[in-house]
Amino acid sequence: MSGDLAKVLGYIDANEKTFIANLKGAVEIANVSAWKDSRPECMRMVEYAVSKLKVLNFTHEIRDVGMQKMEDGSSIPLPPVIFATLGNDPAKKTLMIYGHLDVQPAKMSDGWSYEPFTLTEDGPNLYGRGSTDDKGPVLGWLHAIEAYQKNGLPVPVNIKMVLESMEECGSEGLEELLEKEKNGFLKGVDLVTISDNYWLGTEKPCLTYGLRGLCYMHVEIECGTKDLHSGVFGGAVEEAMPDLIWMLNQLIDQKGQILIPGIMDSVAPLDEDEKKLYQEVDFCPNEFKSDAGVRSLRCPGNKEATLMNRWRYPSLSIHGIEGAFADPGSKTVIPRKVIGKFSVRLVPNQDPVEIEKLINKYLNDKWTERGSNNKMTVLPGHLGKPWMAKYNHPNYQAAAKATELIYKVKPQYTREGGSIPITLTFQELTGRNVLLLPMGQSDDGAHSQNEKISKRNYILGTKVFAAYLHEVSLLDKKDL
């Protein structure tokens, strides 16, 4: 390790309390992008991020991405995207870093043990919405840069940052903005790094080279113009809810197999080399089951099958029903309209547009089979393509060296079942390798109750980011 890097890492250790305080300030901003009423908080978080960037001498642009049409027909401004730049030395590599500032909905009534928008330090962990997804990692990058500057050292690479505030709602408006900037802000980028995912387990750090895509759908059933009293109208009218339950039941069987014809046709066959990769991954299904807090896995105790079901095969999940009574207590209402929400996670070779067509046809065929006189409409949600990168690329080699330096163990190379659609956008628009460099662990509970990041991962992850910047500076541009 160079003496300069040792100083940088020492600064990170010495400023742990300050870095935790910074995360506390970020978590207190309840910028839930899915909540219309929290749009001012989204703007407040943008201003918070800009204030941090200014201290580090970034130049920045606030880019408008237009209006968002809400389900009630109203329109509100989308939160702007931040483009930030630090350095333009032609002798240095230019690294693009993406992160998001917005968070998932969270309320104490959801089952939280801690106030979701107050960072709570409990033992080794820091609890709060956004702590691991994605405010902690975004701050980790800024703290790594700060560590160089406070030691009077040049940041070893040029940095461009893209920070958005709509990732949790499909990154609305971002892809179109980036496409316009292909020969502008994105020009000259050598490598791309994203820290918006998690380790496979809780012990070994990971580098991630693949993600599933997403096809989110709504199926709407309408039986009338107003809600009705079940005592007055029950048994006399055709209700929407039984139709919807029947339709949702046609999507997936009890074993988790997708029932939509043709959806598996484009999945690449499993070869021996890929099968060996799953055998070599350090992963415990029982630990995974325990962390998830579920009663059972589809393939109990089978490591390879569990990994393949998460990474290389599509899956279908039913998420909820809008319009149905869901509050505590009893209400004898017949809803006039209900909307079932589900999604399919897609794998390489699958096109979300084609999958959407298969789903649409299947649901319309099933509706004909149902024979109901109610009105059924299939509504598309957001789509995202799957993504794969070359994990033997120098970008991954630099990250592996940085990770091993800090954690004293070689990282695992993993794929992941989630979706970050913008990953593929960066890869296609820049033509450069994209690395997923996670900070958090598998049990952090992103999107769930009691989201957390461990103090260990928060600080060591920041050190990995700092060491990675150093390792990238040593790469030969012609190899990128």
397 & 452 share domain:
yes
Backbone phi and psi for residue 478, each to the nearest 5 degrees, phi listed first = -70, -15
Which residues lie closer than 8 Å to 89 by C-beta, 6 or more apart? 158
Contact 403, 475 (CB under 8 A): no
Sort strands 434-436 and 191-194 into parallel, antiparallel or unpaired. Answer: parallel
* Rounded Cα gap, residues 162 and 95, in angstroms: 11
> What's CA 314's distance to the chain center, in Å?
17
Catalytic (active site) residue 167: yes
pLDDT given for residue 310 in this prediction = 93
What is the domain count for the chain? 2
Q: Which of 331, 360, 384 finishes a domain?
A: 384
Query: Which position has the token pair 């055709």?
Result: 238
For helices 352-370 and 240-249, the axis angle rounded to 10 degrees is: 130
CATH number, residue 435:
3.40.630.10
List residues forming the annotated binding site: 100, 133, 168, 196, 229, 332, 345, 419, 447
185 & 108 share domain:
yes
Residue 166 is assigned to a structural domain of this protein: yes
Catalytic (active site) residue 203: no
13 & 125 share domain:
yes
- In the chain, how long is the greatest CA-to-CA distance? 81
351 & 373 share domain:
yes
Residue 393 is assigned to a structural domain of this protein: yes
For helices 285-292 and 303-311, the axis angle rounded to 10 degrees is: 60
Q: Which of 364, 384, 404 finishes a domain?
A: 384
Q: What is the pTM of this model?
A: 0.85
Query: Which position has the token pair 């592996």?
Result: 400
Residue 295 is assigned to a structural domain of this protein: no
H/E stretch holding 448 reads none
Residue, of 105 and 291, whose pLDDT is higher: 105
Q: Which of 41, 134, 146, 167 is catalytic?
A: 167
Q: Which of 330, 365, 384 finishes a domain?
A: 384
Q: Average pLDDT, stretch 87-111? A: 98
427 & 320 share domain:
no
Q: Which of 41, 102, 134, 239 is catalytic?
A: 102
156 & 30 share domain:
yes
366 & 430 share domain:
no
Long-range contacts of 471-479 (CB under 8 A, 24+ apart): 471/398, 471/399, 471/401, 471/402, 472/93, 472/95, 472/156, 472/157, 472/191, 472/395, 472/398, 473/92, 473/93, 473/156, 473/157, 474/398, 475/93, 475/394, 475/395, 475/398, 476/394, 477/93, 477/190, 479/394
pLDDT per residue as tens digits for the range 385-401? 899 999 999 999 999 99
Residue, of 195 and 417, whose pLDDT is higher: 195
- Structural domain of 234: 213-267+313-384
68 & 126 share domain:
yes
72 & 27 share domain:
yes
Reduced 3-state DSSP string for 33-65: CCCHHHHHHHHHHHHHHHHHHHHCCCEEEEECC
**3 state SS of 258:** strand
Residue 220: how many other CB atoms lie within 10 Å: 18
List residues forming the annotated binding site for substrate: 196, 229, 332, 345, 419, 447
* Rounded Cα gap, residues 339 and 35, in angstroms: 19
40 & 75 share domain:
yes
List residues forming the annotated binding site for Mn(2+): 100, 133, 168, 196, 447
Q: Average pLDDT, stretch 372-378? A: 98
Q: Average pLDDT, stretch 464-472? A: 99
Confidence band of 2 (pLDDT split at 50, 70, 90): confident
147 & 22 share domain:
yes
pLDDT beyond 80 at 133: yes
